[in-house]
Amino acid sequence: MTTTQQAKADLLHALHVPGTPLVLANVWDAATARLVEATGAPAVATASASVSWTRGVRDGGGLDLAGALAQTELVVRSVDVPVTADLEDGLAEDAAGVGRTVTELLALGAVGMNLEDSGAAGLRPVAEAAERVAAARKAADAAGVRLYLNARTDVFIFGAGGVEETVERSRAYLAAGADGIFVPALSDPAVIAELLAALPGVRLNVGGGPGAPTVAELARLGVARISLGPGLAKVAYAAVRRAAEEVYGSGSYQALTGGLEYGELNALFD
């Protein structure tokens, strides 16, 4: 740990304020990290789906730890702001393995991590998932870094119990050492309000994108973090497909208009 890393860790914690949410436009490589930082983003986050696709594997179990850490290191080295990494379920078989993952992640200079409670077989039992959260916290404490540990529960993704199950799991993860709770696939303002009422003071993370409440609306509800997840990657890959379809179809190049200039992109790495 360095003084700089600890300062970034403290800043990442301070940026999570219910009602004044930290907005994260998730990245996947050095160029996207620098582009997002240049817009004024106070922190940068990776998205496991985006990282998986750029590494040539499927999201949700296709990414290995070495690949995830290599991509995270690129991002950390490319920006000056705090970096938080999406490492799925810790990319480890058991709680001890999650602890080792955290140790390796912090050695790269990252200061935050998403840890989800599902794996290849679906949602883990809450006690097992909480044990993995506790192992991550213990490893961070041992490294002397104030890791922002964002515990993700996939209850709404799997349709496994709704608000009641989410609240039970959130309380268990917070008690195990999580700093915040991420609930993907949740966009109904009434349900978000119900969760926040059941978990007073929780730093809640939800997803942002088409169909979701705006940043201002989520702020009014008391959300502390908004993530775009693989949204930027999906838009970028759609642009690639449109341009390729056009040139191999009509033979024209209109889809290439509006792109960033070569010099601007190259200057990212001066």
What are 57-100's pLDDT values in tens digits? 999 999 999 999 999 999 999 999 999 999 999 999 999 999 99
CB neighbour class for 246 (10 Å; exposed up to 12, middle 13-18, buried from 19): middle
Q: How does the average pLDDT of the chain come out, rounded? A: 97
Looking at domain 3-229, which of 3.90.1200.10, 1.10.1070.20, 3.20.20.60, 3.40.640.10 is its CATH number?
A: 3.20.20.60
Name the one residue in this structure whose structure tokens are 């620098």: 34
**Residue 143 pLDDT greater than 80, yes or no:** yes
Helix (H) or strand (E) holding 221: helix 215-221
Q: What is the CA radius of gyration of the chain?
A: 19
- Cα distances (angstroms) measured from residue 191 to each of 38, 107, 174, 198, 234: 34, 38, 20, 11, 27
Model pLDDT, residue 226: 98
Model pLDDT, residue 2: 74
Name the one residue in this structure whose structure tokens are 């200061």: 111
Q: pLDDT category, 27, cuts 50, 70, 90?
A: very high
Do residues 149 and 172 touch, judged by C-beta distance below 8 A? no
Q: Which two tokens stand for residue 36?
A: 């997002």
**Residues 269, 78: Cα–Cα separation, whole Å:** 9
Q: pLDDT category, 160, cuts 50, 70, 90?
A: confident
Domain boundaries along the sequence of the chain: 3-229
